[in-house]
Structure 1
Amino acid sequence: MEEPIKGKSWFNRNWKWVVPTGGCLLVIILIVAFAGSLIWGVTSLMSDSQAYQDAMTEARNNSQVVQVLGEPIETNGMSGGSINYSNGYGTAELTIPIKGPNGEATILVEGSGADENWTYQKMEVSISDSDQVIDLLEDGPLIE
């Protein structure tokens, strides 16, 4: 009776290309995960800031903005700019893309303050499809 000859396993036959390929895929996955978490962290840092929250509140409560964009007004992608904190005092220069059912716009914010007490030098909405700019601080801001 003949016994079947036992060959090498699949891994033993292919380990020379499986190990480097698996290692490269692991490195790529780790890089993508790191970049994604970095982007998410920066984005959430900006969206949690007082300047961002105040700008979104002002835009949603402004009758001109609601008339042009419609309701609801939501963010439209990643915000950009800078937020700096030093000894409890912060400054912010942000651009926040927003959208509504009728169009898109960008909020431009420049301000400084501490905790929840911020003052703004600029807070305006620039409508994307036109040259219209709506000053959110013009009619007496809801937030000081």
Structure 2
Amino acid sequence: MEQLPKSLLVRRFGAFFIDHFIIVFFIVMSFFLVIDPSENEISSMLIRIILLIVCAFVLYGCKDIVNGRSMGKRFFGLAVRDNNQELPSTSKLIIRNLFTFLWPIELIAILISKQKRKIGDRLVNTDVYSVKNNKNILGIALSITSIVVFFVCIMFFGILQIIKRDESYLIATDFIKSSSEIKEIVGNEITLGYFPSGAINYENGYGNSDLTIKVKGKKGTTLVHIILSKEPNRDWGIESIDY
């Protein structure tokens, strides 16, 4: 069997930064998705933050389980292999990444060691190698697709957060939560949907906000369509509401 060459450190660092960017991006976007600025229950928010931290551990641990190659490794033509240069078991691929959160220590371990292996690789007897199919179609396609998806997600979640943090949205949600008529439909314990739709426009001090918000409760679910307007030096006012 032909021996695979050890990867260059610069390529390993490049792969790490790509993987790190992907995972951090996913976690940050998920944070904005599950944390509603109109929600005041600290305990609920704390539980969601803990779940996101757990998800981060899982993502970092499992990033190489597909053929020993994460997205960053595919982009740079790298792969994790054992001492026999064969694909390690899934458990080894997970264990080698458990120390990723201690990346400063991992970095020092790589730089000062003669074999240039991180702690996880030493623990399970693995290493990172350059593979022949550096320019394989699958790796290129996955890399390009991931970049496109990330930019689309950035735009989507960016617009979503602009809406959810706008003053008109906060006024609309406050009205919904205090509305006795809406509570009669869905119940007293109101939960707002994560994906409001609509548009908010500002021009010369005037504003128009047209929002549709899903409202859920123990009794049922309804869509609330609310229109607000704003004049210069005045707060938002509700023009109409339909549900």
Instruction: Tell me the TM-score normalised to structure 2 length.
Output: 0.43
Letter of the aligned partner of 2:238 in structure 1?
Y
1:57-115 per-position Cα deviation (integer Å, ceiling 9, x unaligned): 11111122222211321222411111111233321111111111211111111121157
The aligned residue for residue 121 of structure 1 is 239
Query: Considering only CA atoms, is the larger Rg found in Structure 1 or Structure 2?
Result: 1
What number of residue pairs does the alignment pair up? 119
**Cα separation, 2, equivalents of 1:60 and 1:120:** 14
After TM superposition, the structure 1 = structure 2 runs for residues 1-144 of structure 1, keeping only pairs within 5 Å, are 7=2, 9=4, 15=132, 17-20=133-136, 21-113=138-230, 117-124=235-242, 126=243
Deviation at 1:116, TM superposition (A): 6.4
Work out whether residues 55 and 107 of structure 1, in 8 Å CA contact, stay in contact via their aligned partners in 2.
no
Work out whether residues 186 and 215 of structure 2, in 8 Å CA contact, stay in contact via their aligned partners in 1.
no
Unaligned runs of 5+ in 2: 6-76, 78-130
Q: Which has the higher helix share?
A: 2
Work out whether residues 55 and 123 of structure 1, in 8 Å CA contact, stay in contact via their aligned partners in 2.
no
Q: Which has the higher strand share?
A: 1
What is the percentage of aligned positions where both structures have the same residue? 22
Instruction: Tell me the TM-score normalised to structure 1 length.
Output: 0.69
Unaligned runs of 5+ in 1: 1-5, 127-144
Q: What's the RMSD between the two structures over aligned residues?
A: 2.6
